[in-house]
Structure 1
Amino acid sequence: MDQANRELEALLDFYLASGIDCLLETDPVDRFAETARLAERRAAEQGFRPSDRPVQGAGPAAAQSPLSRRPGADRTFPQAAPAAPVPQQGNEASGGGTSVVLPNASTVESARDAARNASTLDELRACLEGFDGCNLRLTAKNLVFADGNPEARVMFVGEAPGRDEDLQGKPFVGRSGQLLDKMLKAIGLDRSAAYIANVVPWRPPGNRTPTPQETEICKPFILRQIELVNPDILVFLGSASAKTLLGTQEGIRKLRGRWMSYSTTGEEIACVATYHPAYLLRSPLEKRQTWQDFLSIKQKLDEKRLAQS
Structure 2
Amino acid sequence: MAVRLFIDGAAGTTGLEIRERLLGRGEFDLIVLDDAQRKDEAARRDALHAADIAILCLPDEAAKEAVKLAEGSGTRIIDASSAHRVAEGWTYGFPELIGHEAIANAQFVSNPGCYPTGFLALVAPLVRAGLLPADFPYTVNAVSGYSGGGNALIDRFEADPTISFRAYGLALGHKHLPEMQAYARLARPPVFSPSVIPAHRGMVVDVPLALGAMPDAPQIEAMRETLAAFYFAGPVIAVHGPHEAPGELLINADSAPHDGMELFVFANSDGSEARLIARLDNLGKGASGAAIQNLNIMCGLPETTGLRLG
**Range of TM-score over shorter length:** under 0.3
Calculate the TM-score normalised by the size of structure 1: 0.27
Calculate the TM-score normalised by the size of structure 2: 0.27
1 or 2, which has the higher strand percentage? 2
- Give 1 or 2 for the bigger CA radius of gyration: 1
Q: Which has the higher contact order (CA 8 A, sep 6+)?
A: 2
